[in-house]
A = this chain, B = another copy of it.
Amino acid sequence: MKIRVYVSLKEGVLDPQGKAIGHALNSLGFQGLGEVRVNRVVDLDVPADDSSAAIAKGEAMARALLANEVIEDYSVEVVA
């Protein structure tokens, strides 16, 4: 089952990348953008019988490795 683990910086944590990209987009003429945040998604194909098992696996992997819970949050969704 294909899942997507979405890993994002916790609110309030500085995102230097997002800041720089927002700046660059602005000077390319894309104005009025709010905060820009750059996050990471990990696409995986996990052996699981149903969605909830797949999601549980994704969450376990996020906790074990994919997300750095000190500064990052994660969420998991089934994509196919």
A residues neighboring B (CB under 8 Å): 6, 8, 18, 21-22, 24-25, 28, 30-47, 57, 60-61, 64-66
Q: Say whether chain A's binding surface is mostly helix, strand, loop, or mixed.
A: mixed
Is B44 a contact of A36 with CB atoms below 8 Å? yes
Min CB distance A51 to B, Å, is 17
**Beta-carbon nearest neighbor of A57 in chain B:** B30
Is B44 a contact of A34 with CB atoms below 8 Å? yes
Is A6 a contact of B61 with CB atoms below 8 Å? no
Is B47 a contact of A32 with CB atoms below 8 Å? yes
Known: A24-B65, A30-B61, A65-B24. A36 touches B43 (CB 8 A): yes
Min CB distance A78 to B, Å, is 14
